[in-house]
Amino acid sequence: MDRLQLQWVALTLSIMTLSEACHPTDWRALTSFKSGIFLDTSGRLSKWVGRNCCDWEGISCHNSTGRVKEINLPGFISTGDLPFQSEMRGYLSASITLLNAVEIIDLGGLVGLCGTIPSFIGVRLRNLRKLYLYGNKMRGPLPESIGKLMKLEELAVHDNRLSGSLPASLGSLKSLHSLLLYGNRFSGAIPDSFVNLTNLVQMDLHSNSFNGHIPERIGQLQSLKELDLSDNFLSGKIPLSFTNLTALSVLYLDNNNLEGAIPFGSVTGQIPSLAFLRLNGNCLSGKIPSSFGELVFLKRASLSNNKLEGTIPSSLGNLSSLAELYLDSNRLSGRIPESFGQLSQLILLNLSHNSIKGPLPEMSSLQNIQSIDLSFNLLNLSSIPHWMAELRSLSKIYLAGCGIHGQIPEFLRTTPSPIQELDLSANHLTGRIPEWIGSLARLYSLKLSENSLVSVIPDSVTNLQDLGVLDLHSNKLTGNIRQVFKIGHRFPDGSLTYIDLSDNSFSGDFDQTDVGQQRAIHFLNLSHNNLKGRLPTSIGTLTSIRSLDLSRNNLGFDLPEALVNANLLETLKLQRNHFTGKIPKEFLKLRRLKELDLSDNLLVGEIPAGKPLSDFPRSTYMGNKGLCGKPLSPCKL
């Protein structure tokens, strides 16, 4: 056999070997990984048998070398028309770093994968391009060696329990274009070295505990399109270099401790691609730059919860693509610019909690707007503008604290789009709640509190089958409250989750009210009324309730043991009534109770010993002459 034939035989044997078994180091790495997993709901690892790991599900190998090239075992699996969320429980074996030819590791969204990222990952996996470990229970730091992964393009380790400071070596990853670290427990400063990641397109660090300043030279990231640093503890000023980010379309810096003026939008042409901006929940001050109106691609802007002052620039009316604008909870003054009538794409406008004055501009041209919130300004409207009734898409109206007088206007009955949420609280409304209120079939939230409304709740409210929030507190309403709990609903447990009828003059026997028809209630406040009788036994069916306030009524008789079935209760206020008898021992089962007030009743006997009842202060039980036991004086033998 000549030399050529020998080479051919050797090559054939080599190919046959590659087809029958993977590299022994890769086989050892993968079997070690498998042994660290004790539960795999997808069943993929159970098929990892034999020596030919290149045929195993989720494994791909290089054709030329037979070395493992990709591990694709994501938690979310699409099988035909039915997506499936799988889970792996166990620990990530450090042996995975033996796969020194691997380019892609996708173990994202497996939910139960624990352990740490191997400290020497950057030393061994020099060919790695994509690393997905998101949506697991990984702990520990991001290793310093990760900065040696010079081919790394995507790093996604978000939604884990990773902690510690970020290594400065991350700034060496010149090939990186996606960095997703959000939803972890990282702390410390954002490394200045990050400004060297000049190919970065997306960086998301939100929902961590980063502090310190945003790197001053962040404007060097010329390829950056999306940046999210929200929900951290960042401080200082927004760097001026942001104005150099000409490709940036998404910028979220909300819910930090940033201060000073808004640096961009002050000069024409800065950040021209910006479409989504969130700066809310900071300490920003100064005026809104007039050149904000040059951000012609802006679709959503939130500057709320800051210390911005001055007038709203009329140039904002030039934002022809703007769909959502949040300027609430600032110190803005002056009037709403007439130019706002040009915002034809506007869907949501929130200017609440400022010092804006009236009169309102004509805005009937905003035919796409669905939600308007002008609450708590200095508008002194006197009445609801009629042009609101002409807005064909408007379904959410918030005009609390706007100085509105008179009766609830009837044109709200016939708006082009059915009203879903209506807030007219803290005004000067008089008269009755109109009978036609029951024709608002899509109404979910009705807030009419802190007015001077009189008479009874109309029976028509029982037609409001979608009603979830009803707030009528602090009016002059009378009659009984039974119809509230008779409101029809599309759901087995009822639709209402929040009811506040406090500070009125409602009366009648409470025990004739079947509160059990609204078992989805979380919050119920009937305090400061004239209700009498027993607590209805149906109150024990409110198994979702967290807060119950029946204080300052004329309720009496024994406290019902059925109340313990409301075991999610956190607040229970029954003070200033005429309850008698003993405190049921079953109340000890209200383990979640954080606030309790039984003072000024006619209760007797020993306070049941144990948590949580014994841990409340004396004031919880004062004014019941017959009560004794901790925290009051010991009972006499």
Per-residue b or e along 171-205, where b marks 16 or more CB atoms closer than 10 Å to that residue's CB: bbbeebbbbbbbbbebbeebbebbbbbebbbbbbb
Residue 272 confidence (pLDDT)? 87
Tell me the one-letter amino acid at 618. Answer: R
- The string of pLDDT tens digits covering residues 429-478 is 999 999 999 999 999 999 999 999 999 999 999 999 999 999 999 999 99
Is it the case that residue 181 has pLDDT exceeding 60? yes
Rounded to whole angstroms, how far apart are CA atoms 597 and 348?
Answer: 41
Contact of 379 with 354, CB cutoff 8 Å: no
Weakest mean pLDDT among 15-29, 55-69, 423-437, 503-517: 15-29
Is it the case that residue 206 has pLDDT exceeding 60? yes
Contact of 213 with 241, CB cutoff 8 Å: no
Residue 9 confidence (pLDDT)? 37
Averaged pLDDT, 273-298: 94
Residue 509 confidence (pLDDT)? 94
Rounded to whole angstroms, how far apart are CA atoms 92 and 114?
Answer: 6
Output the CA angle 197-202-205, nearest 5 degrees: 90
* Dihedral angle over CA of 328, 329, 332, 337, nearest 10: 10
Q: Which two tokens stand for residue 284?
A: 């920003």
Rounded to whole angstroms, how far apart are CA atoms 243 and 217?
Answer: 11
- The secondary structure of 395-464 as a DSSP string is -EEE-TTS-BEESPPGGGGG-SS---EEE--SSEE-SBPPGGGGG-TT--EEE--SS--EEPPPGGGGG-
Residue 339 confidence (pLDDT)? 96
Residue 118 confidence (pLDDT)? 96
Contact of 473 with 500, CB cutoff 8 Å: yes
Question: Which H or E run includes 12?
Answer: helix 3-20
Q: Please state, for a pLDDT cut of 70, what percent of the chain lies above it.
A: 96
Local structure of residue 634 (DSSP, 8 states): P
The CATH class given to the 523-636 domain equals alpha beta
- The secondary structure of 559-596 as a DSSP string is PPGGGGG-TT--EEE--SSEEEEPPPGGGGG-TT--EE
Rounded to whole angstroms, how far apart are CA atoms 437 and 458?
Answer: 8
Residue 264 confidence (pLDDT)? 77
User: pTM for the full model?
Assistant: 0.91
* Cβ-based burial of 12 (10 A; exposed 0-12, middle 13-18, buried ≥19): exposed
Averaged pLDDT, 612-628: 95
List, edge to edge, every strand of the sheet that includes 209-213: 139-140, 161-165, 185-189, 209-213, 233-237, 257-260, 283-286, 307-311, 331-333
384-506 with 523-636: one CATH topology?
Answer: yes
Averaged pLDDT, 420-431: 97
Domain ranges across the chain: 22-78+85-211, 250-379, 384-506, 523-636
Residue 637 confidence (pLDDT)? 72
Residue 11 confidence (pLDDT)? 40
Residue 84 pLDDT level (bands cut at 50, 70, 90): confident
**Beta strands of 481-540 (E only): which ranges?**
498-500, 507-509, 523-525, 530-533
Residue of 332, 338, 386, 379 lying closest to 358 (CA atoms)? 379
- The secondary structure of 185-222 as a DSSP string is EEEEEPPGGGGG-TT--EEE--SSEEEEEPPTTGGG-T
**What CATH number does the domain located at 22-78+85-211 have?**
3.80.10.10
Residue 203 confidence (pLDDT)? 98
Contact of 610 with 583, CB cutoff 8 Å: no
Please determine, looking at this structure, whether the domain spanning 250-379 carries the CATH number 3.90.380.10.
Answer: no
Residue 8 confidence (pLDDT)? 41
Rounded to whole angstroms, how far apart are CA atoms 122 and 234?
Answer: 29
Rounded to whole angstroms, how far apart are CA atoms 8 and 20?
Answer: 18
Residue of 127, 126, 109, 107 lying closest to 117 (CA atoms)? 107
Q: Which two tokens stand for residue 623?
A: 């004014």
Is it the case that residue 3 has pLDDT exceeding 80? no
Contact of 505 with 482, CB cutoff 8 Å: no
- The string of pLDDT tens digits covering residues 159-176 is 999 999 999 999 999 999
Is it the case that residue 291 has pLDDT exceeding 90? no
- The string of pLDDT tens digits covering residues 4-27 is 444 443 444 344 444 457 899 999
Is it the case that residue 66 has pLDDT exceeding 70? yes
Local structure of residue 102 (DSSP, 8 states): -
Rounded to whole angstroms, how far apart are CA atoms 267 and 289?
Answer: 8
Between strands 82-85 and 76-79, the pairing is antiparallel
Rounded to whole angstroms, how far apart are CA atoms 572 and 583?
Answer: 13
Rounded to whole angstroms, how far apart are CA atoms 405 and 451?
Answer: 9
Residue 16 confidence (pLDDT)? 40
- The string of pLDDT tens digits covering residues 570-602 is 999 999 999 999 999 999 999 999 999 999 999
Mean pLDDT over each residue of the chain, to the nearest integer: 93
Residue 17 confidence (pLDDT)? 44
Averaged pLDDT, 622-635: 94
Residue 10 confidence (pLDDT)? 41
Output the CA angle 484-490-491, nearest 5 degrees: 90
- The string of pLDDT tens digits covering residues 220-271 is 999 999 999 999 999 999 999 999 999 999 999 999 999 999 987 545 567 8
Contact of 507 with 532, CB cutoff 8 Å: yes
Q: Which two tokens stand for residue 269?
A: 């042409």
Q: Which two tokens stand for residue 48?
A: 């990892």
* Close Cβ partners of 227 (under 8 Å, ≥ 6 residues apart): 203, 204, 245, 248, 250, 251, 252
Local structure of residue 265 (DSSP, 8 states): S
The CATH class given to the 384-506 domain equals alpha beta
Rounded to whole angstroms, how far apart are CA atoms 536 and 530?
Answer: 16
Residue 4 confidence (pLDDT)? 47
- The string of pLDDT tens digits covering residues 522-563 is 999 999 999 999 999 899 899 999 999 999 999 999 999 999
